[in-house]
Each structure stands twice: as structure tokens, then as C-alpha cells.
Structure 1
Amino acid sequence: MTRRRLGRTDIEISPIGIGTMQMSNRGVVTTAFPGVSADTQAAVVRAALDGGVNWFDTAEMYGRGQSERNLTKALRANDIEPGGVVVATKWAPLGRTAGNIRTSIDQRLAALSGFPVDLYQIHHPWGSFSSLAAQIRAMAELAKAGRIRSVGVSNFSAAQMTEASAILDSYGLRLASNQVQISALHRKIETDGVLAAAKRLGVTLIAYSPLATGILTGRFHDDPKALRSIKLARRLAGGYGKRVGQAAPLVEELRKVATAHGVSVSQVALAWLVTYYGDTVVAIPGASKPSQAEQSAGAMAVELTSAELAGIAEASRRSGALG
């Protein structure tokens, strides 16, 4: 797959990026994911780069900046210098005002150790003491001052995206992206207006949990006992018990297509996601092992037919993905 423009910016990204929450190794993330050593983090980044991935998504909330620090260490361990890849990170609104966006940018840049903020996102639309409009204006000021390259949001509704886009337009800027949950098992963007708004506004949707927290790898259908290896906090938050059964017809269809192409179930799930919606949707699967990053990057080489895309969409619908 060729690279795509991030929204209406001049930034070009691969259809698959890598999410780096697992690189935090501290805080609440460790209740759901095991720690990842520095050597493994470097190997994950190497596997992603070798597979054609050119961007990574992190956040202040992932270990209070530890994911950002570990990502840049892993990049440098692979001889990648600032500007060599696209880096996206996020500002945490909870308990803060919009003014903190202006004052905390130095902390983000310090955590990224010289790597620029190519995409700066508001992590979620709730929890701040300031209005969304004030937050977007503060982001716009950073962009106009050259502190960040582009502005994005995360978990924003269609109406909130539209408001953010209008404010940025008034500064001569464009809303680059909205990071939301999307997968073949979660397609609410089609029914809640987010997909339609993104297409109208020229905004890229960044899909987090694109493999439905591992359900769309098929491993839990192959071996139901594998659920026991998932940390309890992650199991409870992900609702695995109900969702694994719900996904059965979808995984069966994904497996059929995977067999025809000689690839994995997860690669078909990712290929469907970044193809079915055209250039509007890109995905950021996480990776705690190099093999996972290699698999995810390899999904960009899987070319699905129109019949296969339609068949997966129908199985997805039967699995309740539209809500």
C-alpha cells in the first residue's frame, strides 16, 4: 500500500502505524500488559520499520511520558534520528485547563528527546476545566508558533470534530485526525456520524484497538484457554467473555480469507480495516513482540478482492459490529 496524507496536512504516513502504549512499563498500563524490555522495544521498532511502517503513536498518559522516552530510545537504537519517522503523541486533559497545553509542550518535547511532535492530539474530550474550543485554540497557537506540526483529537464525536475543524480553519490550519476505536468488530463510526464527518472534513481516522484487543487474531477461538493468559484487568475491561463468542462468525470469515492468501487472521483483519474505508482510516496496532510488529506491517501487502471485503463486512455485521 502506498503512503497516505494525514488529513489535509503535508504529512505522509503508512496505512499501518504502531501504537506504543506497551512501551510505558509503568502506571496503570502495567495492570493490563506485561513489561517490555528495552531490547525488545528496539526489536519491535526494527520489525516495524523493516515492514514499511513510518510512524508511531504514543501519549503523555502512557506511563507519564515513559512511552515517549522509550520510543525515542528505541528509534535511536535503530539509527533513526529526529525527522526520520512521524511521531504522534497526546496531551492529557484530565484535571487541567487549556493553558496547560501551552505550558506543558516543553515537557513533551523533552520526553521525545529531540524528536518533533508531528501530530499533537487531545487525548479525550472530557475531564478538562476548559472548553473544547479553548483547548483547540491553544493547540492552534502551538501549531502557528511552530512548536507542533499538526493538530489532532481523540475520541471526539462528529459534532466535536466539526467544532474543532471550524476553529482550526479560522487560524488557517486543518484538523488532521481523530483517533477512535475501529475494527471489524467495532464499526460504530458508520452509525454515529464520525465517518461521514471525517470524509466531509478531510480528517483521517486513526483506529485504535484495530484487532479488538487481540480477539481478531483468532487465538482465543483456536485455544479458549488462552484467555487465562490475559491479565485480569485487561480481561475485565475488554469484555472478552462475551466478545469472543460474538466474534466467532467474523473470525471464521477472516480465517477463510487468510487461508486463501496464505497470511494470518490478524493480517486480514488489518488489511480489511485500512482498505474498506478507503484512505480515511489508518490503524495503530500495538506490539509487545517483534513478531507482532512484523505481522502488522505485513498486512499492508495483503490485497483483498472486492468480494472478500464485502464478505468480511457482512460477517462483521452479523457479529454485531455496527452496535
Structure 2
Amino acid sequence: MAAGFLLQFASAPAVVAPRRHPAVVGRASTIGGTPAVTDRTAVGTLSLPSLGIGTIAWNGKTEEDKARIAGVAAAAQARGLDFFDTAERYGASPLSLIPAALAGLGLPVDKSYLGGDCESNLAEWGRGATVATKFTPTPWRRQASDVVDAARGSCERLGVDSIDLYQLHMPDIIQPFRAFGVVDRKDEIYWDGLAEAYKSGLVRNVGVSNYGGALLERAQEHLARQGVPLVSNQIAFNLLCRREGSLATLEKGNELGVRTLAYYPLAMGLLTGKLAARNLRQAVLEKRVSPQRAADLCRYLEGGSGGTAGDIPRNGVLPLLEAVSDVAAARSKTPAQVALNWVMCKGAIPVGGASSVSQVEDNLGALGWRLEPSEVGQLDAAADDLPFDFKGAGFQTTDSKFVGYGFERWVLN
């Protein structure tokens, strides 16, 4: 096994000395004194860095946390990584969706606030960046005008006149009366709302998230009849998350001309080679990681059954990590850079989190080059040999959303 996979979690001491990696030629240039990433991808009217930054964890509870996140955002923009993805729900706890369940049952609860603060934080920390955000389908949002109103609210929280990319967070899966045979799907209504927001100038581009290929094509056709281009679909996609429709959905998007944005591109850190089970367990004791999340990640690393991860054979993801390590060593890259670049080679823009300036620097090293087809094939083969897929950890999953009364799921395949 490559020694790199005994590396630390968070700030624990490294087992092996880190190797210095040369700068990637051509990944950025300087324009007017500001670094500009030249490795870019067109998404609708936008020219984006071929690597985005997700902000689901950019909701600091302490002044120290807020200062750290603000520093990460500033460092990213200073280095040309100025595409941030957020949502009106980001920053909320899973339990804060309980009001969504109660409202769906017809109880009189406050429906004006969905609990996230990341949009408001980005108004301060991400000023001047390209920002994508998302509308959350909920039972009480039953008209196209609800999408327009929500977009207007996001504009206000973000401090902008129009949103660069506005997405539906998921299909209309929150159906609290499903058990009684009552389903009220409002997907087409939400598509109409996207069209209205686009035509009103509130949003410059529209996209969806967690749509499988068939629903993606339906949405594109529906919007096209109103003269509105569908430019993106955001799904969980990485070397460990290719089955159950993810790869097929990406390929369908490529066929339709709809760009895929890939969240969890590093599988919650599993593909960085820096997670170790012992450090995850220590992080639980120190209350830095939830027990559910740590237990699932440990199963991916060691093997085991239960939880979100399901049945994982002994040694879990380590055979794939060895293959990533081999390619990384040959390329003088880090495993994370190779894993991110693999996503780009498939035609997607990876959107990964960043909680430190060092992570921003490491992610930047994924730009300005591409894996050779033989290297992509080598990694594909190693991923195919694993008899399981990455399904997330704890309350954060790749195929569902916790909505207060339980998990509601979408299907990509």
C-alpha cells in the first residue's frame, strides 16, 4: 500500500513527509495584477474556472470560524478560483427541515425562512465572484411565482441584482402524503418559475440539480419551448460514485449540451488519501465530526456493514486509492489533484469544499493539465473493481435529502 494513505485527518501530524509539487504551467495568468485561471469552461453565458468551490460548510458559528472562512474565500478569489456554489438551504442543520414536513402536513408553521445563512455570508465573503445558488422545492411552494420570489430573496441575501446561475436543488421529492398514495409533483411548475425568473432578468442562467437523464431531457425540452436554455445539472460524481446512474447522467448531459457540475468530487475526503479511521474516531471524541458521518467514512476505509455506506468489503477504498497514488506519483501531483482532474476529463466541473487556504492551493494544482486517456482508463478500471459505490456519509447522501420526517430519494437511473 502506498504510504500516502496513512496521512492524517484534519490537523493531526502527518505520518510521511509531504512532497513538494511543482506549479502547473498554464493554470493561471495575471491580468491587471489579479491572477486569472485560464483553465476555464463555458456554462451558458458564463466562463467559469474548470473547478468550483462549494460553500455548504461556510457558515461559521464563532468569530474564529468566520475569519477562517473569509480568509479561504479571499485566498480563492486572489488565486482566480472565483466560482462559488451555494443554496438557500446551505448552512442549515438537517433538523431544521422539520418545518418543511409540518407545513407539508398542513400545520401552520413559519414558511418564510429555510434556515441557511451561506448566501448572506457570501454577500460579504464572495463579493465580486461568480455565484450559483439553488431553489429548494417544498410542499408549500406550489406556483411558478414562488420560484421568482425565492430568486428575488436570494438576490437580496447575496447582495446582487441578478444571479449568475440559479438551480433547482432537486426534483420535487418532498411528498409527505406519499404513504397514503397522494403525490403532488410540481416539477413543471418549477421549470416555469425558472423561465419567469430568467425572462425577468433576476437570473442570467438556469440549471437543475440531482436530475437523472430522463428528467433532465424533459426539463430541457420544457424550458426550450419557452426560449430558455438549460445550462447545467449538478449531481454527485467522483471516482467512487459512477454507478446507479451518475456516469450515465453525465454522458446524457454531454449529449444534450448541459454541463455537469460534480459535487462530492473527492468523496468527502476519501479520495485525498488524508483520511485515517483512527483520526476520524478521535475527531468524534473532540466533537469535530458527527458520529454518524465518521462511522460511515470509517466503513469506506476499513470495510463493514450498516449506515449510509452499506456493505463494504475489507480494506474498502484502499485498492482504488493505491491506483490514484500511482498516477499521482508519476505525475508529481497529489491524489486530490488527480481525482479532481479525472472528473474534468469526464466533462464535468468538480465543485469541492475548501475549509483552509492549503486546500485551495492543492485544488488549484488540478488545473492546467489533463490526465492521459491511458491514465483515465487505469483509474476507471480500479474503480470498476470495487463492488460498491460512494453513497455519502451521515445525513449527507448522494441520492436523497433528509427532510425532517425522514429521507426522500431521487433516482438517476
Separation of aligned partners in 2, 1:184 and 1:35:
36
CA contact (8 A) 1:216 1:269 kept: yes
Partner-residue secondary structure (3-state), 1:23:
coil
Report what 1:75 is aligned to. Answer: 126
Distance 1:118 1:306, change over 3 A: same
Report what 2:224 is aligned to. Answer: 169
CA contact (8 A) 1:268 1:302 kept: no
Aligned pair partner of 1:309 in 372, 376, 382: 376
Distance 1:291 1:115, change over 3 A: farther
User: In the alignment, is residue 4 of structure 1 matched against residue 41 of structure 2?
Assistant: yes
Aligned pair partner of 2:279 in 216, 226, 232: 226
Question: Could you tell me how far 1:71 is from its partner in structure 2?
Answer: 1.7
Aligned pair partner of 1:48 in 54, 73, 76: 76
Question: Could you tell me how far 1:37 is from its partner in structure 2?
Answer: 2.0
Larger Rg: 2
CA contact (8 A) 1:13 1:55 kept: yes
Partner-residue secondary structure (3-state), 1:219:
coil
Aligned pair partner of 2:67 in 31, 35, 39: 39
Question: Could you tell me how far 1:12 is from its partner in structure 2?
Answer: 1.1
Separation of aligned partners in 2, 1:160 and 1:190:
12
Aligned pair partner of 2:168 in 101, 108, 122: 122
1:126-205 matches, cutoff 5 A: 126-127=173-174, 130-188=185-243, 193-205=248-260
CA RMSD of aligned residues (A): 2.3
CA offset digits 1:260-285 (Å, max 9, x no partner): 2222111111111111x1xx311110
Distance 1:36 1:266, change over 3 A: farther
Aligned pair partner of 1:16 in 51, 76, 84: 51
Partner-residue secondary structure (3-state), 2:204:
coil
Separation of aligned partners in 1, 2:335 and 2:131:
28
CA contact (8 A) 2:60 2:66 kept: no
Partner-residue secondary structure (3-state), 2:300:
helix
Partner-residue secondary structure (3-state), 1:296:
helix
Q: Which amino acid aligns with 2:57?
A: Q
Report what 2:365 is aligned to. Answer: 298
Distance 1:115 1:313, change over 3 A: farther
Partner-residue secondary structure (3-state), 1:37:
helix
How many residues align? The count is 300
Separation of aligned partners in 2, 1:74 and 1:191:
32
Report what 1:246 is aligned to. Answer: 316
Separation of aligned partners in 2, 1:250 and 1:200:
28
Partner-residue secondary structure (3-state), 2:352:
coil
Give percent identity, aligned residues only: 31
Structure 1 spans left out of the alignment, 5+ residues = 27-33
Report what 1:266 is aligned to. Answer: 336
Q: Which amino acid aligns with 2:186?
A: S
Partner-residue secondary structure (3-state), 2:262:
strand
Report what 1:31 is aligned to. Answer: none
Q: Which moved more, 1:67-76 or 1:97-106?
A: 97-106
Report what 2:135 is aligned to. Answer: 91
Separation of aligned partners in 2, 1:243 and 1:302:
29
Distance 1:214 1:191, change over 3 A: closer
CA contact (8 A) 1:22 1:35 kept: no
CA contact (8 A) 1:92 1:123 kept: yes
CA contact (8 A) 1:187 1:321 kept: no
Q: Which amino acid aligns with 2:323?
A: E
Report what 1:284 is aligned to. Answer: 351
Separation of aligned partners in 2, 1:271 and 1:36:
32
Structure 2 spans left out of the alignment, 5+ residues = 1-26, 28-38, 92-114, 176-183, 284-288, 302-314, 391-413
Separation of aligned partners in 2, 1:56 and 1:15:
12
Partner-residue secondary structure (3-state), 2:234:
strand
Separation of aligned partners in 2, 1:308 and 1:111:
43
CA contact (8 A) 2:60 2:69 kept: no
Report what 1:30 is aligned to. Answer: none
Separation of aligned partners in 2, 1:317 and 1:22:
31
Q: Which amino acid aligns with 2:294?
A: R
Q: Which has the higher helix share?
A: 1
CA contact (8 A) 1:72 1:115 kept: no
Distance 1:35 1:123, change over 3 A: farther
Distance 1:191 1:93, change over 3 A: closer
Distance 1:102 1:191, change over 3 A: closer
Question: Could you tell me how far 1:115 is from its partner in structure 2?
Answer: 6.2
Give the TM-score, by structure 2 length.
Answer: 0.68
CA offset digits 1:101-120 (Å, max 9, x no partner): 12222211111012631111
Q: Which amino acid aligns with 1:74?
A: W
Separation of aligned partners in 2, 1:286 and 1:38:
15
Q: Which amino acid aligns with 2:242?
A: R
CA contact (8 A) 2:59 2:66 kept: no
CA offset digits 1:116-149 (Å, max 9, x no partner): 3111111110227552111001110110111101
